[in-house]
Structure 1
Amino acid sequence: MPGRVRRGQGAEQCDVTILRSMPGTGRIVIATLLAEAWQPLHRRDYHALRSLAGVAPVTLRSGKRCLVVRRYACNRRLANALYHWARVASQRDASCRRRYVALRQRGHSHGRALRTVADRLLAVACTLLHRQTLFEPSHASAPAAA
């Protein structure tokens, strides 16, 4: 398969190769991901990654009231890296751009829309890391066309 990662590489090299194939990633974003969240990345733990990065929302419930707010208890360096990852991906990738524009049209703020895009990018990254395959942009747009 052309999208598979070579077996001769170490686990960390495979992870870097897979993350480099994703839209919007660069050296600083990947270095921050690997430095600040190496344990959840190694375990491919999507829920821990999204909580650590601050893209998972917090639900506050009290009697009749239910409020969903941004998670402030997070790793700020990782949250900053994911913000820039989502920002660049929404500028350069058509799928991320469509998601960002749809969220903005529904009335979400710029930051909320980028956190949602970052959440989706983390889910895709964990799936790719688990399967040890590279990102293929044509694969993401194929189900939408059908």
Structure 2
Amino acid sequence: MEYNYFELLERAYQKLKDVIKQEQIRWNPPIPHIEYVKNRTIITNFKQIANYLNRDPKIIAKFFSKELFVQTIIEGNSLIINKRVSYETIKKKLDEFINIFVICPVCKRPDTELIERGRKIYYIKCHACGSESPVNYEL
């Protein structure tokens, strides 16, 4: 059976579409569960999120603290933010953290670990493609 260029292109696209869809299903970070107590915002599943992202909870808390200009406290499995913050803002900041500190800038996969070299100098080491990239963010 002989294919022309466009048929081959369509066939390849269909196969890739299935692979991309499977990849998106494979990695799906937990949704933050938010509670409000007076003027505080509490992410109740914070440790679960940190474990899923394979990152130290202290680094994530520091990121939230710096981005939201507020003090954060890790207490048990929760992160307490000393300010009332909307769910949308929390989700947006978590997505920013993931893009900066988790996703490999070379292959765009989440199979990474964060390596600290020196004081406040971080690198993302990717287990998928083997690259090491500096993190362009100062905590």
TM bracket (short chain):
0.3 to 0.5
Higher helix share: 1
Higher strand share: 2
Higher relative contact order (CA 8 A, sep 6+): 1
TM-score with structure 2 setting the length = 0.33
TM-score with structure 1 setting the length = 0.32
Larger Rg: 1 or 2?
2
